[in-house]
Amino acid sequence: MRPRHTGRDGERGTHPVLIGIGAVIILVIVVVVFLLLQKPKQVTPVAVLGTSPSASAAATPTAVHVTVAPTRAPTPVSTAPAFANFNAPHKVACNGQSVIYPHMTWSVVNATGITISIDTPGGLYDTYGTSGATDLQNDQVPFTCSKTPLEHVYFFTTKGGTGRAVTKEVTITGTP
Q: Are 175 and 90 in contact (CB under 8 A)?
A: no
Give pLDDT tens digits for 75-99: 778 899 999 999 999 999 999 999 9
Third-level CATH fold of 82-175: Immunoglobulin-like (2.60.40)
pLDDT at position 72, please? 78
Instruction: Give the Cα separation of 144 and 98 in Å (integer).
Output: 6
Residue 28 pLDDT class (50, 70, 90 cuts): confident
Is residue 81 reached through a cis peptide bond, with omega within 30 degrees of 0 on the bond before it? Answer: no
pLDDT at position 14, please? 66
Give pLDDT tens digits for 113-168: 999 999 998 889 999 999 999 998 788 999 999 878 899 999 999 999 999 999 99
SS (H, E, C) the chain: CCCCCCCCCCCCCCCHHHHHHHHHHHHHHHHHHHHHHCCCCCCCCEEEECCCCCCCCCCCCEEEECCCCCCCCCCCCCCCCEEEEEECCCEEECCCCCEECCCCEEEEECCCEEEEEECCCCCEEEEECCEEECCCCCCCCCEECCCCCCEEEEEEEEECCCCCCCEEEEEEEEEC
What pairs with residue 2 in β-bridges?
none
Residue length of the chain: 176
Residue 47 has pLDDT above 60, yes or no: no
Residue 38 pLDDT class (50, 70, 90 cuts): confident
Per-domain residue ranges of the chain: 82-175
